[in-house]
């Protein structure tokens, strides 16, 4: 049977992808940190969409052994993966000097190491057409003072998937990288959006909207997906604005608040 694998499935954006895939009649492999949340999500999906098969897997994405077990279990069940949606991520925001080694490595492992590792596992299991969609961020377009680790890991994802997209050209693989602005998925993010005023409101797009745009553009094998007209403008100007000016604006905005939801 064919399945879509979604990491970070129990988060706000992960749930939106899960519901949309189920609505399309796709079977799901949902990966999260806790079985309780996964079971609740599965129950809710099956209440809304009948006839969808859902497999649940807990996985510590920061742990190599846990990731290996996840894919050995998938392989043993003979599950064919037709889509990989890399959603899991950590958006800790603070000055770099305030990080502990634990927090630093956790963010790097989830955002970068785990995403690349899981992608390799899925490519090794490839049997037919495979679509890969990875959630990066507009924050990955330029270095961001006081959000340095997040922006660096998200930038690395953009570069990595651009590179393997070229390597895998003509091999029945679609690769798209999603670069959204603000998505109101948690209360702390909603409060941040409100504090940003007009720019926050213009940048913010609902999880459902982001998912709809992302899946439509993935079908077209779009390299970079930036949902929302305002965010497209931000993306364009980030490419041509001198970094000295960008860093001054970014530092003023992000130095006033520290965020650690993980």
Tell me the C-alpha distance between 232 and 136, whole Å.
15
Structural domains in the chain, CATH included, are 2-254 (3.40.50.720)
Tell me the C-alpha distance between 95 and 88, whole Å.
22
Residues of the chain by 3-state class (helix, strand, coil), percent to 5: 55, 15, 30
Cross-strand partners of 30: 6, 56
Note the pLDDT of residue 134. Answer: 98
Note the pLDDT of residue 187. Answer: 74
Residues of the chain with pLDDT under 50: none
To which H or E segment does residue 225 belong? strand 224-225
Quote the radius of gyration of the chain (alpha carbons, Å).
Answer: 18
Note the pLDDT of residue 224. Answer: 97
Classify residue 130 by burial, with Cβ atoms within 10 Å: 0-12, 13-18, 19+: buried
Residues contacting 71, CB < 8 A, separation 6+: 118, 121, 122, 125
Whether residue 149 contacts residue 105, with contact meaning beta carbons closer than 8 Å, is answered with no
Q: What is the sign, positive or negative, of the torsion defined by CA atoms of 182, 147, 31, 168?
A: positive
| DSSP 8-state class, residue 139 | G
pTM above threshold 0.85: yes
CA atoms within a 13 Å half-sphere pointing along the CA-CB vector of 194: 6
Residue 150: name the closest of 141, 163, 160, 159 by CA.
141
Q: How many helices (DSSP H) and strands (DSSP E) are in the chain?
A: 11, 7
pLDDT tens-digit series, residues 8-58: 999 999 999 999 999 999 999 999 999 999 999 999 999 999 899 999 999
């Amino acid at each position: 049977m064919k399945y879509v694998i979604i990491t970070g499935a129990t988060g706000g954006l992960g749930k939106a992808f899960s519901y949309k895939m189920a609505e399309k009649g796709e079977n799901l492999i949902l990966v999260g940190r806790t079985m309780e949340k996964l079971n609740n999500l599965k129950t809710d999906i099956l209440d809304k969409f009948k006839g969808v098969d859902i497999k649940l897997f807990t996985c510590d994405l920061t742990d190599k052994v846990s990731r290996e077990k996840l894919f050995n279990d998938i392989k043993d069940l003979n599950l064919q993966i037709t889509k990989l949606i890399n959603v899991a991520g950590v958006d800790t925001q603070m000055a770099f000097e305030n990080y502990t080694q634990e927090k630093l490595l956790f963010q790097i492992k989830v955002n970068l190491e785990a995403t690349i590792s899981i992608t390799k596992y899925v490519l090794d299991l490839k049997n037919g057409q495979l679509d890969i969609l990875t959630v990066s961020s507009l924050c990955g377009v330029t270095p961001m003072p006081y959000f340095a680790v997040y922006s660096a890991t998200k930038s690395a994802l953009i570069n990595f998937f651009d590179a393997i997209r070229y390597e895998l050209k003509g091999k029945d693989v679609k690769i798209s990288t999603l670069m959204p602005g603000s998505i109101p998925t948690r209360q702390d993010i909603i409060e941040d959006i409100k504090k940003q005023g007009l720019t926050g409101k213009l940048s913010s797009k609902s999880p459902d909207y982001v998912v709809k745009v992302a899946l439509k553009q993935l079908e077209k094998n779009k390299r970079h997906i930036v949902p929302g007209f305002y965010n497209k403008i931000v993306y364009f100007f980030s490419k041509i604005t001198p970094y000295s000016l960008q860093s001054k604006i970014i530092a003023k905005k992000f130095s006033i608040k520290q965020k650690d939801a993980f």
